Chain A
Amino acid sequence: MINYEVVVIGGGPAGLAAAIEAKRNGVNNILVIERDRELGGILQQCIHNGFGLHVFKEELTGPEYAHRFIKELKDMGIEYKLDTMVLSLNKEKVIHAISREDGYMIIKAKAVVLAMGCRERTAGAINIPGTRPSGVFSAGTAQRYINIDGYLVGKKVVILGSGDIGLIMARRMTLEGAKVLAVAEIMPYSGGLNRNIVQCLNDYNIPLYLSHTITEIKGRDRVTSVVISQVDESMKPIPGTEFELECDTVLLSVGLIPENELSEQAGIEIDPRTKGPYVTETMETSIDGVFACGNVVHVHDLVDFVTEESRRAGKNAAKYVKDLITNQGKSFNTKPSNGVSYIVPQKVRVDNIDNTLDIFLRVRAIYNNAKLVLKADDEVIKEYNKKHLAPGEMEHLVLPKKLFADKDFDTLTIEVKEAN
């Protein structure tokens, strides 16, 4: 058995930031475990720019953003293992992992940080009827083939879903000489960032069909066409609105799901809203000393937010190792209400907060000139005016501790109040 103070599972942006911050907070014996052949996670295939505006106040590509953290990690002498797969984790924080280099390893950690990221929803999960030919890719898989492996995946492309990866790939495929015929989005609004719609679709005259979906995939061997239909308010296809587009490729950008098989197997409680672990203000999960951060907790839209959240997890993992986290004192749960789909963290222990509490949330629909209303039980304690709220854009609230520290309440509710 090998012993570490902090073991970080996952060497993407979340894991890197958590490990660095744990080290900065006085823990020396840290291990980062990465299953891929290099650190940096999915950032390595995101060769477009737009990363780092919040954290570095400049625009970087994905690999550049990752490199800053990888360099810092290496400069700090933090240990990491590549091509290493974690097979299991348990409540005692014993990790089983394998790699070509080290064989079968059993590792005991004082604190664990989960940073496994997320995966893409698939064609199967969204159940598009029709045949099952080649040429149907999740957008991220296509991105990997093109940007990491150097292969093209098709020439005439229809994209289902307007998530950010799909939008980025619309531009990427166009620049590689493919014709992107359409992006179909089942919702009446895009799930991606507005800047990506402008820069990746509008600039290249790629049509975005809102309230449309693919209702059939055709082709016995390779995709030959798709049928697109308009949908009604309950997202049911409207008969008579079908049109067929000849294409050889379908890219799916229909959502991301936190990858928590390891967490579930360890017995960590999962929030059905986020599909990630329930976490506290310290990013601690339902297992003592197991922390989680980044897309494994909830799907972020900006890597900058992942970094901020992961720094918090890393710092608190260090505090846990030094026994500086308390379960005593006042606490409350958070609860999404009217218009809010989820809130992270789900539980707050007031005494662990220094000055401010970071809250991330997403809304269910598009709102203009609305308010986010915070209630301590029934009492309104704060309102934030919001010009624009959209499900595609995560909201980040920074609450001063004095706002709630002196109050006695069980539940902090956050809801959207629409303009009259």
Chain B
Amino acid sequence: MNDLYDIVIIGAGVSGTYIARELSRYDLKILILDKDNDVANETTSANSAIIHAGYDPKPGTAMAKFNAPGNLMFDKVCKELDVPFKRCGSLVIGFDDHDKETIETIYQRGLTNGVPDIRILNHDEVLEIEPNLNPDVKLALYAPTAGIINPWELAIALAENAIDNGAELKLETRVTDIKKEDDSYLIITDKGNYLTKYVVNCAGVYADDIHNMVAKPSYSIRPRKGNYYVLDNSVKNLVDHVIFQAPTKKGKGVLIAPTVDGNFLIGPDSDFIDDKNDNSTGMDNLNYIKNSGLKSCPSIPFDKVIRSFAGLRATSDHEDFIIGEVEDSKGFFEVGGFESPGLSSIPAVAEYVVDLINQRHGGLRKKDDFNPTRRPVIRFNHLPQEVKAKLIQKDPAYANVICRCETITEAEIVDCIHRKAGARSLKAVKKRVRPGAGRCQGGFCGPKVVEILARELGKDWSDIPYDSSKAYILTGETKEESGGENL
């Protein structure tokens, strides 16, 4: 006997969770599957964290179709789900005549793609709003609608809201095969089988593998890896906008972006890789990023780096998104090749996919009781003094500061464990409320967060992983009697 669903969504990144949340408006039995032990754990957790304005994609592509409209939908969803989002605007800066030509082309493209309010700034205007940029800058394309967001925070919020509205989430469940049966699909996983009318393939870098389980191969994904540096949030006022370089024949150059948490990201480079699991950083790559970043902004304090990381882009050989119902497999929908500007496009893409399913189904029935909002997240450190005092009166766990770098309290950590799609690992807590994301990188708070996770989940300390269930932190208890006079 297999569980019967209306829709199974494969992949709990930002595309899978967004589509799940939009589908949870309707009277449908929805299941989200992910191979990892947390939502938003691959591509969604390691990228530039930018909502692009939409001038980049070539007109006529799916990317161009969805990016600019998607961008404009972020204010509403972020407000509903209490996800920090800031329209800080972006600049594409140029240093010579060649860059000037490129920027003018991008500007025209932006107009065609329907990007609002873009304009070209001259040398003085650029340095007026970004005084720390390289003074050799000649001009820049300014796009005020570009923004910054925590992509994983958005996906976590979307998952929580979808579950609140009836969707189910099964983690650590790997899809191993899919069988087409009459008018349904049998999803075979390492944890059991699920029968469903419709499938949405949101499997990121694995989307082609999932596609090939049911349909004839039509695209392949070869991920492009990007390395990044993260600067400590004690660095202030480096740049206020997302700073891109005008792409040249030598490459795209790296970006400098503020984050919603007050850090700065510098990166990425771009390297095709063959191993879809490979998110290792490389010394040469990081050096390239350093040099390229310094070209845009000579005063980047690289001694304030707190972390470097690498993420993968799900680049397909179509060099575009692959979105829609698969031709030879009715009822099988997919969001493939979903690399940048995927995050920026997802609200519009989700709307489109839901519409396709609606048509295929012959009309979906809306729920009366859909709740678009998520219970607000208390971010203690950002609250005014009086509110802090009141919170502590109500729950003294708000006075127990666990993470001293980011001033994260015990109450916030406990809450993120007990929410829907709650945290089960040290990294999952870090993604939700940020202990370990600061300058000590978990040195002080790590043991305390492990203690809280173990207590709240009723587990032993040794059973709390850093990330996947194989990423154990502790190997057991110490000897009861430690030998020797020298310890």
Contact = CB atoms under 8 A, between A and B. Distances in A.
Interface stretch (B291-299, B359-367, B478-486): B478-486
Contacts, number: 151
A150 B478 contact: yes
B404 interface: yes
B423 to A, nearest CB: 15
Contact of A125 (B305, B401, B407): B305
A212 to B, nearest CB: 15
Contact of A221 (B398, B470, B479): B470
Using C-beta atoms within 8 Å of the partner chain, give the interface range for chain A: 35 or more
A188 interface: no
Contact of A127 (B286, B396, B405, B484): B286
A131 interface: yes
A155 B466 contact: no
B400 interface: yes
B73 interface: no
A372 interface: no
B471 A149 contact: no
A119 B466 contact: no
Nearest to B401: A85
Given A103-B393, A134-B466, A264-B234, A124 B306 contact: yes
Nearest to A261: B234
Given A124-B230, A141-B446, A152 B476 contact: yes
B84 interface: no
Contact of B475 (A129, A140, A152): A152
A162 interface: no
A188 B277 CA distance: 37
Contacts of A83: 399-400
Interface string A92-121: 000010111101100000000000000110
Interface string A16-56: 00000000000000000001000000000001110000000
B447 A144 contact: yes
B291 to A, nearest CB: 14
Contact of A151 (B308, B393, B443, B474): B474
Interface stretch (B11-19, B347-355, B368-376, B384-392): B384-392
Interface in B446-485: 446-447, 451, 461-462, 465-468, 470-479, 482-484
Contacts of B419: none
A133 B388 CA distance: 36
Contact of B306 (A125, A220, A248): A125
A19 B285 CA distance: 50
A83 B400 CA distance: 7
Contacts of A119: 439-440, 443-444
Nearest to A126: B305
Given A175-B484, A176-B479, A96 B404 contact: no
B475 A104 contact: no
Nearest to B465: A134
Contacts of A140: 443
Interface string A175-217: 1110000000000000000000001000000000000000110
B51 to A, nearest CB: 25
Most B CB within 10 A of own CB, among A99, A132, A153, A216? A132
B468 A87 contact: no
B281 interface: yes
Contacts of A261: 234, 405, 439
Given A85-B399, A100-B392, A120-B443, 20 more contacts: A35-B401, A35-B404, A48-B486, A85-B404, A98-B398, A104-B388, A122-B307, A124-B230, A124-B305, A124-B441, A138-B443, A149-B451, A151-B462, A151-B476, A152-B476, A155-B475, A171-B487, A176-B478, A221-B467, A221-B468
Interface of A: 35, 47-49, 61, 83, 85, 87, 96, 98-101, 103-104, 119-120, 122-125, 127, 129-135, 138, 140-141, 144-155, 171-172, 175-177, 199, 215-216, 218, 220-222, 237, 248, 261, 264
22 contacts: A85-B399, A96-B385, A100-B396, A103-B396, A122-B440, A124-B307, A124-B308, A127-B305, A129-B308, A131-B279, A133-B471, A141-B444, A150-B477, A150-B478, A152-B478, A153-B475, A175-B482, A177-B479, A218-B280, A221-B468, A221-B471, A222-B471
Top 10 nearest A-B pairs by Cβ distance?
Answer: A134-B466, A124-B307, A104-B389, A221-B470, A85-B401, A134-B471, A100-B396, A122-B441, A221-B471, A151-B474
Interface of B: 230, 234, 277, 279-283, 285-286, 305-309, 385, 388-389, 392-393, 396-401, 404-405, 407, 439-444, 446-447, 451, 461-462, 465-468, 470-479, 482-484, 486-487
